[in-house]
Amino acid sequence: MRAVFVWAGVATQFLKADIIRSWEVANEAVKAANAAEEISGETSGLSVALITSSGLKMIELDSSVLNLSVLFSSLAKQDLTRASDLANGFKYEAPRAAATLTVASAAMAKAKRPK
């Protein structure tokens, strides 16, 4: 289940450096979500345990980059149609609804902007 949010976080970070890779990684997030039934699309955070030379270290990852909504909002700003198609790729209702609503919000925001 955590893999979904890791993929979403990686895809969100790739948006800044490599948009093509971001779309590829976002597709992996959808595949991971389809493999797990309990995915809602939102997370409150993710804890990771790292083993270092000085011992075990726990790191709390910021939930703002791990949510599918953040990812789909950013993807929709790049390409509304492609983001909508990707959102429709979710097998389960909860993540599909969250992603679709996020894309729709981005579309409405884009339509409201003065030209």
Into how many domains does the chain fold? 1
DSSP 63: G
Q: Give the side-chain half-sphere CA count within 13 A for 87.
A: 28
CA distance 29 to 101: 17
- The CA–CA distances, whole Å, from 9 to 12, 15, 16, 74, 101 equal 5, 10, 12, 12, 19
At residue 51, what are phi and psi to the nearest 5 degrees? -100, 120
Chain mean pLDDT for the chain = 85
Given a cut of 80, whether residue 38 has pLDDT beyond it is no
The per-residue pLDDT for range 67-94, each reduced to its tens digit, is 888 899 999 999 999 999 999 999 999 8
Confidence at 58, pLDDT banded by 50, 70, 90: confident
- Return the SS3 of 3: helix
- Domain ranges, residue 97: 2-112
| pTM to 2 decimal places | 0.79
CB 76 within 8 A of CB 70: no
